[in-house]
Structure 1
Amino acid sequence: MMRQRMQQIEERLKVLREEFRSVAGDDASWREEIGDPTRLLALHARAAAEQAQQWVNELAQDLDWSEQRAYRFLKSVLHTLRDWLSPEEMADLSAQLPALIRGIYFEGWKPSDEPMWERKKIDFLICVRKSFGYELDVDIGKGIRAVFKLLDRHISHGEIVQVRNSMKKSLRHLWPAD
């Protein structure tokens, strides 16, 4: 049975190779257009890293913080926001995040965890504070506003409206005005 399955796989691979050759051609000129696949992957990874770095740099500049502190705070707010949203809204927002920022967003997430039911502004602030740490010189509200402003600059207006509307009015005030 195993041999039969292997033969089926080999036959399917043969068909796929033929289909590829009919589209790409035998001379591999397609490599000139898209480049070496390994190189292409490296270019995409570099672009993703640069985009994530841009977000961190923008937040660091907005708050006049170090990049390391800005990264930690962005992560804390994204995790709290993720846990605050419904699963549908969480997924919709994540679809618009750059690849590495999306990875940060989902880092440590356990789908089986109970969703955050407290929806008061103070509860959101406390969750961010716990996640980020107790640094006395950090104005948590100002930092959250800066992250929300960053999201507002990079995420579609329609998605931001949906996220904002899913929150209590007191928390909506931390988002930039329309």
Structure 2
Amino acid sequence: MSAQDLEVLDHTLQLTHEWINELRDRLDWSSSRETLRLLRVVLAEVRDRIPHTEIAQLSAQMPLLVRGMFFEGWQPAKTPTGDRDAAHFEDAVNARLGRVDDYRGREDIAAVFATLANRISDGELRQVRHALPRSIRAFWPAETVWDD
């Protein structure tokens, strides 16, 4: 296998680092590992609450590595969940995330959504937002919201 054959891996590593670095800067955390954990957990909770078509369209705009994490553990027959409550969403993130010293709850979930708003097309974000329950849309930072 030539080095040229691995360009796709180099590119996805670079893009994944860009996503993690952006989110880490928004969070003001020192740990890239914990930043990645938060990204994975929030994406999984979003994934489990939107229709399969939106899951596919959203994932198409993610770096390959992030996309793999997004689909890891997904059980299509159990999604989308009927849970429409923001408190349950936040509780699910908290439970999946586990102990992270710097974690501040809603504020950090909003940072993930702000990162998505910077990395995913406006049209796709509108579709994802509209697929989510209104109470969960409230996690999106105001500067990233176009319409409800």
TM-score (norm 1): 0.74
Determine what percentage of the aligned residue pairs are the same residue: 35
Structure 2 counterpart of 1:138, from 103, 127, 144: 103
Paired with 2:124 and 2:37, the residues of 1 have a C-alpha distance of: 24
**Cα displacement (A) at 1:110:** 2.4
Match of 1:67 in 2: 32
Q: Is the 8 A contact 2:51 2:79 kept in 1?
A: no
Distance 1:99 1:135, change over 3 A: closer
- Residue 74 of structure 2 is aligned to residue 113 of structure 1: no
Give how far 1:152 is off. 0.5
**Which residue is equivalent to 2:60?**
95
Structure (1 or 2) with the larger CA radius of gyration = 1
1:32-51 map, 5 Å: 38-51=2-15
Distance in 2, matches of 1:99 and 1:45, equals: 8
Give the unaligned 5+ runs of structure 2.
none
3-state SS in 2 of match to 1:117: coil
Distance 1:48 1:114, change over 3 A: closer
1:153 has 2:136 as partner: no
Residue among 94, 98, 110 paired with 1:129: 94
Report the CA distance between 1:137 and its aligned residue. 4.6
Letter in 2 for 1:162: Q
Partner residue in 2 for 1:82: 47
Matched, 1:54 2:18: yes
**Relative contact order, higher structure (CA 8 A, sep 6+):** 2
Q: How far 1:168 moved relative to its partner?
A: 2.2
Indicate which of 107, 123, 133 corresponds to 1:168: 133
Distance 1:112 1:165 in 2: 21
Once structures 1 and 2 are overlaid, which stretch shifts more, 163-172 or 54-63?
163-172
CA gap 1:116/1:45 in 2 versus in 1, 3 angstroms: same
Structure 1: segments with no counterpart, 5+ residues: 1-36
Distance in 2, matches of 1:136 and 1:51, equals 26
Name the aligned partner's letter for residue 69 of structure 1: E
